Amino acid sequence: MRLAFWNNKKTTTTTTTTTEVKKKKKKSVAREWLDAAVFAIVAATIIRTFFIEAYTIPTGSMEGSLLINDYLFVSKMSYGPRIPMTPLAVPLVHNTMPVTGGKSYSESVQWKYRRLPGFGKVERNDIVVFNYPAGDTVAMEVQQEVDYYTLVRAYGREQVHGMYTIMTRPVDKKENYIKRCVGIPGDKLEVRNGVVYVNDKPGQQFPHSQTSYVVRTNGQPIPTDILDDNEIDQPIVVGNGVFVFTLDPAEVAFIKKQPQVAAVEPYLNKPGETSPNPAEWVYPHDTANFKWNRDNYGPITIPKKGSSIMLTPQNIALYRRIIANYEGNKLEEQSGQFVINGTPTNVYTFKMDYYWMMGDNRHNSADSRYWGFVPEDHVVGKAWFVWLSYGPHGIRWSRLFRGVTTLSE
């Protein structure tokens, strides 16, 4: 408001401004906690998506390099962080809501596969976290014990759908697995009598890798306390004085020295031997054209982006899932002829790189021998270091804050 004062000598103007000083309202304690929680969730989500994420080893498939109840961090930056393909999801939850169950995400928005630049690519013998390739369809009641496709081969699709609740999942919401990459794109891979060969040369042997051995004794078992003191799992009793142990090379040497032991030999499937049980078939689950088993497998060539394959009725089982499921083509097979996206052809060119993943515990690992190739869009990150580990006797102090590469040596 302006006020003017006049006198006979001069005119003086005085201006008075009325300012309302508003005190900023102080946030309530509840509001402060809410703001802090939102900030923490956003920050944790960004870190989890683009930098590092914590995982737990739930099974013995990587023993003895990684042990059950090893807690480790996985680097997303090693291979480049993957942009979420299913962006509408509850933060910090993978695919299932805690307590209530049900999906923790919406499939109403789906983005194409994209990956930001990283420090490098997946290398041979890296320990890698990835989405389980065969996890696009799950039988919810038994998803932790057996995959959907194994159930269908064993019991038939109609019976499985009648017995279980069936759910489908997008790529980035499939279950997470951790294995060692033994083959990279373009590699020729074969398993001969339990030994992995890459490009016709024996693959790297890791000192803690385990497999099964038949141990024959004089009829007496090795005392339980001796096995416990040396952290050797109790064996399966096959017959009088015959046991099956899961051992690494150092444990094999120890068992051979026991006075009651007469012989120790690898427990292997013979070449060309296939199981009559469909649930035990290896990939590509075609025993007519591929008489392979867990110990004698291949040879195969791991698909590489841009490379081409000649398709035949004899080899289509190897590539059918890649063409139709992973790379999203419409594949039709008509009297031995192939039609892809409406075009007759007998040649296919791969759109992505693929990898071959296997567990270090070779006879206790559901890996690529059973479900095939791992597409590049399924790769999550590289196992980095163990930050916590505990076993039956408490915390394993010697494993804390040690790199995964070091623990493999």
* Residues in contact with 301: Cβ distance below 8 Å, sequence separation at least 6, in sequence order: 186, 187, 188, 189
pLDDT number for residue 35: 86
Question: Could you tell me if residue 229 is inside a domain?
Answer: yes
**371: three-class secondary structure by DSSP:** helix
Does residue 70 lie in a domain region? no
Residue 11's pLDDT is 45
Distance separating alpha carbons of residues 223 and 260, to the nearest angstrom? 10
Residue 15: exposure state from Cβ atoms within 10 A (0-12, 13-18, ≥19): exposed
Print the domain residue range for 249: 211-266
Q: Please, which contacts does 337-341 make with residues 24 or more away whose CB atoms are closer than 8 Å?
A: 338/311
Where helices occur in 51-156 by DSSP H, the ranges are 148-155
Tell me phi and psi for residue 155, to 5 degrees. Answer: -120, -10
What pLDDT score was predicted for residue 10?
44
- For 182, counting Cβ atoms within 10 Å of its Cβ (0-12 exposed, 13-18 middle, 19+ buried), the class is buried
CA-CA distance, 56 to 178, in Å (whole number)? 10
Q: What is the predicted pLDDT for the residue at 25? A: 67
User: In this structure, is residue 233 part of a structural domain?
Assistant: yes
Q: How many helices (H) and strands (E) does the chain have?
A: 8, 26
Amino acid at position 97, single letter:
M
**C-alpha to C-alpha distance for 235 and 218, rounded to whole angstroms:** 16
Q: What is the pLDDT of residue 136?
A: 95
Which residues share a beta bridge with 242?
A: 216, 239
The letter for the amino acid at 102 is: G
Mean pLDDT of the chain: 91
Q: How is residue 230 written in tokens? A: 């040396």
Residue 78, sorted as left (phi over 0), alpha (psi -120 to 50) or beta, turns out to be: alpha
Q: What tens digit of pLDDT does each residue of 247-275 get? A: 999 999 999 999 999 999 999 999 999 98
Averaged pLDDT, groups of 10, the chain, 409 residues long? 41 48 68 89 93 94 92 97 96 91 94 96 97 95 91 93 95 96 98 97 93 95 93 92 95 95 95 90 96 97 98 96 97 92 96 97 94 98 96 92 92
Alpha-carbon distance of 22 to 25, in angstroms, equals: 9
Nearest to 104 by CA among 113, 94, 118, 117: 94
Contact 148, 134 (CB under 8 A): yes
Return the pLDDT at 64.
85
Q: Which residues does 97 contact at the CB level (< 8 Å), separation at least 6?
A: 90, 103, 104
Residues in a beta bridge with 310: 347
Residue 236 lies in a domain: yes
Q: Distance between CA 361 and CA 119 in Å, rounded?
A: 29
Q: Which of 313, 312, 317, 310 is nearest to 292 (CA)?
A: 317
Type of residue found at 376: E
- pLDDT at 26 (0 to 100): 75
Residue 337 pairs in a beta bridge with 334
> Has residue 92 been placed in a domain?
no
Sheet hosting strand 195-198, strand order edge to edge: 201-202, 195-198, 188-192, 297-301
Write out the two tokens for 393: 């006797």
- pLDDT value of residue 152: 94
Do 318 and 292 contact (CB within 8 A), yes or no?
A: no
Q: What is the CATH number of the domain that holds 236?
A: 3.30.70
Q: What is the pLDDT of residues 120-165, one digit of tens each?
A: 999 999 999 999 999 999 999 998 889 999 999 999 999 999 999 9
Answer whether residue 364 is part of any domain.
no
Count of the separate structural domains present in the chain: 1
The pLDDT score that the predictor gives to residue 144 is 85
For 73, the enclosing helix (H) or strand (E) is strand 70-75
Structure tokens at 5: 């004062």
- Angle CA 237–238–241, to nearest 5: 75
Paired tokens of 124: 């041979």
Q: Which of 187, 203, 186, 184 has the alpha carbon at shortest distance from 195?
A: 203
Question: What pLDDT is attached to residue 302?
Answer: 98
Residue type, 139: A
Q: Which two tokens stand for residue 120?
A: 């490098």
Contact criterion met (CB below 8 Å) for 361 and 246: yes
Whether residue 237 lies inside any domain: the answer is yes
Instruction: Identify whether 204 is part of a domain.
Output: no
Chain segment 77-122, per-residue pLDDT in tens: 999 999 999 999 999 999 999 988 889 999 999 999 999 999 999 9
User: Amino acid letter at 394?
Assistant: G
